[in-house]
Amino acid sequence: MKLVMIGAGYVGLTTSACFASLGHEVTCVENDPQRIEPLTRGEIPIFEPGLDDLVRDGVAAGRLRFTDELGTAVGRAEAVFLAVGTPCLPNGAMDLSHVEAAVRQMARYLHPATLVVVKSTVVAGTARRLRSLIAQIRGQADIKVASNPEFLREGSALADFFGADRIVLGADEQSAAGLLDRIYRPLARKGVPTVRTSTTSAELIKYAANAFLALKIGFIDDVADLCEAAGGDIADVGRGIGLDRRIGEAFLSPGPGFGGSCFPKDTRAFADTGRVHGTPQPLVECLVDRNEQRKRRLAQKVIDEVNLHDGRTVAVLGIAFKGNTDDVRESAALTIVPMLRRAGLAVRAHDPRAARDGIAELAGIVRCNTAYEAVSDADAVVILTDWDEYRRLEPERLATLMHGRVLFDFRNLLDPSRVSLAGLRYFGRGRPEARVATATNGGAASLRETAAASPA
Ligand code: UGA
């Protein structure tokens, strides 16, 4: 089928390449010259495992092309997908101006049989409003608008596309639903379940799914605090509750607060939608606040500990909001690093992929090429991102290179007993020091001694 994707951002680009590999003929339209130029030269502007090959294959097979020419592409399409950004306004509401601008630009080029499909995450009722907007511009209500939200995680987007838990097809007319069915038939034939709904339900599914997942993370983060205070171990508690199939094991890893381009923005917009409709969502409102507080509280914990030992330099490992991506949007580092800097601490940072300069929150830090280079002479190490290479860090080597003796593992990547044996004081998330002490056969007293013996 002939498809057009408007927007070659993370979702648009990935989905275009995936559609092309299903056999569709996809034209991806992008009006930002900085994005489109590398793509037309065959360069992929984002890091997503497997995407380079998929794009290259699609282009070589003649099924995927990139252009900044909206009119011609749209005029020939059976379906036009909208994958433009929907950022958050300062009051938490969603900014739909890019979606509306794209619709205004293309409305007059659309063939009456073309289906417009909203892939961008949008507030409930948007597809219906866009349908009215297009009708107003064209002077007739011939164009149908459907909703087909995406559930792609950065870092595992291809697997999430081809092996999706479900595909949500939101359509208010039978013909629109039929067209969406045809687009996704290759995946449905392989057993991927489809959920057919109205456009508004599809829009709500996307928000409710992200809000629920974010609540799950916020909850386990709180339980991790409780574990630290009461002496439990979050890994055991997470597994013990996650094996209950009604709860599920995924998304129960505590961290330094969730980030990324989706959860923080979508939870704020979900709460805002609740307020607008007179049905407040207090659970999600509370989650939004707690997640911000968590990042600040963890930064303060580092500052207090480093100050206690008259330390000066902190090594931050991980700038991206999670492993396997170069995306830094709303990452914990963007809150934690500025707080460390304001407290007068020097920051040496490393990230395997997110190495871009020009991020205001990271001004004044020293960028290092390797994790070991970053920790050299540092008074404390703070692991913020769950990169696999950080799981393989050798505590003994860290201890030799560091000046101080404190390691904050906010992703629980390292073995606490091995870190302690290497002579470092270990702070994880929801892993009580008592357990570390037991594991090292040293008892609580030896831990205190380790801390006291740290170089000032
Ligand atoms: C999320 C959803 O998982 C996707 O289904 C959705 O399509 C996407 O948002 C979107 O709306 O476009 P993504 O933002 O790529 O995907 O990242 P996740 O893997 O969901 O992680 C989000 C944040 O939660 C990260 O900061 C991650 O480190 C954190 N997290 C995740 C935890 O702290 N603990 C966990 O157990 C899982």
Q: Tens digits of per-residue pLDDT, 84-98?
A: 998 888 887 889 999
Question: Which ligand 1 atom minimizes the distance to the CA of 331?
Answer: 26
- Closest ligand 1 atom to Cα of 10: 12
Return the higher-pLDDT residue of 247 and 440: 247
Distance 218 CA to ligand 1 centre (A): 12
d(CA 422, CA 367): 26
Supply the residue whose CA is at minimum distance from atom 10 of ligand 1.
262
For residue 152, the ligand 1 atom closest to its alpha carbon is: 7
Instruction: Tell me which residue has its CA closest to atom 1 in ligand 1.
Output: 153
Question: With left for phi above 0 and alpha for psi between -120 and 50, is residue 287 left, alpha or beta?
Answer: alpha
Element (H, E) at 185: helix 174-189
- Nearest-atom number in ligand 1 for the CA of 11 is 12
Task: Give distance in angstroms: CA of 278 to centre of ligand 1.
Answer: 28
Spacing, Cα 114 to ligand 1 middle (Å): 33
Q: What are phi and psi of 348, to 5 degrees?
A: -110, 125
Cβ-Cβ contacts under 8 Å for 64 (sequence gap 6 or more): 16, 17, 20, 26, 28, 55, 58
Query: Band of the pLDDT at 104, cuts 50, 70, 90?
Result: very high
Contacts of 151 (CB under 8 A, 6+ apart): 160, 164, 165, 166, 168, 206, 209
From the CA of 265, how far away is ligand 1's center (Å)? 12
Testing ligand 1's pocket by substitution, the residue of 14, 249, 322 carrying the most ligand atoms inside 8 A of its CB is 322
Ligand 1 centre to CA of 263 (Å) is 7
The sign one gets for the Cα dihedral 48, 49, 54, 57 is positive
Given a cut of 60, whether residue 434 has pLDDT beyond it is: no
Residue ranges around ligand 1 (CB below 6 Å): 121, 150-154, 210, 213, 217, 251-253, 255, 258-260, 262-263, 266, 321-322
Phi, psi at 267, each rounded to 5°: -70, -40
Mean pLDDT of the chain: 92
Q: Ligand 1 centroid to 249 CA: how many Å?
A: 15
What share of the chain in percent tops pLDDT 70?
95
- At 433, the pLDDT band (50, 70, 90 cuts) reads low
What the block records as the tokens of 71 is: 């009119």
Which protein residue has the closest C-alpha to ligand 1 atom 18? Answer: 153
- Tell the residue nearest (CA) to atom 31 of ligand 1: 251
Ligand 1: residue of 121, 213, 253 to mutate (most ligand atoms within 8 A of CB) is: 213
Name the active-site residue from 88, 227, 262, 368: 262
Burial of 359 (0-12, 13-18, 19+ CB in 10 A): middle
The CA distance from 407 to 427, in Å, is 6
Q: Check pLDDT > 50 for residue 140.
A: yes
Atom of ligand 1 nearest to the CA of 150: 7
pLDDT in tens, 354-373: 877 789 999 999 999 999 99
Q: pLDDT tens for residues 154-169?
A: 999 999 999 999 999 9
Our measurement of the distance from residue 309's CA atom to the centroid of its chain's CA atoms, rounded to an integer in Å, reads 35
Q: Confidence band (pLDDT; 50, 70, 90) for 41?
A: confident
59-to-18, 35, 75 alpha-carbon distances in Å: 12, 16, 21
More confident residue, 24 or 41: 24
Q: Is the pLDDT of residue 440 over 60?
A: no
Q: Residue 214 C-alpha to ligand 1 middle, in angstroms? A: 8
What pLDDT does 309 receive? 86
Closest C-alpha to ligand 1, atom 30: 258
Name residue, tokens 């270990």: 426
Q: From atom 5 of ligand 1, which residue's Cα is the shortest distance away?
A: 151
CA–centroid distance, 221 to ligand 1, in Å, is 14
Backbone φ/ψ region at 161: left (φ over 0), alpha (ψ -120 to 50), beta: alpha
Confidence of residue 257 (pLDDT cuts 50, 70, 90): very high
**CA-nearest residue, atom 11 of ligand 1:** 262
Determine the pLDDT at residue 448.
31
The protein residue with its alpha carbon nearest to ligand 1, atom 24, reads 258
Model confidence at 425, pLDDT cuts 50, 70, 90, reads very high
Q: Residue 357 has which token pair?
A: 């300069």
Q: Which atom of ligand 1 is nearest to the CA of 327?
A: 15
Q: Which residue has the higher pLDDT, 251 or 433?
A: 251
- Pick from 120, 148, 217, 239 the residue to mutate for probing ligand 1's pocket: most ligand atoms within 8 Å of its CB: 217
- Residue 446 pLDDT greater than 70, yes or no: no
Q: Is 286 a catalytic residue?
A: no
Confidence bin at 5 (pLDDT 50/70/90): very high
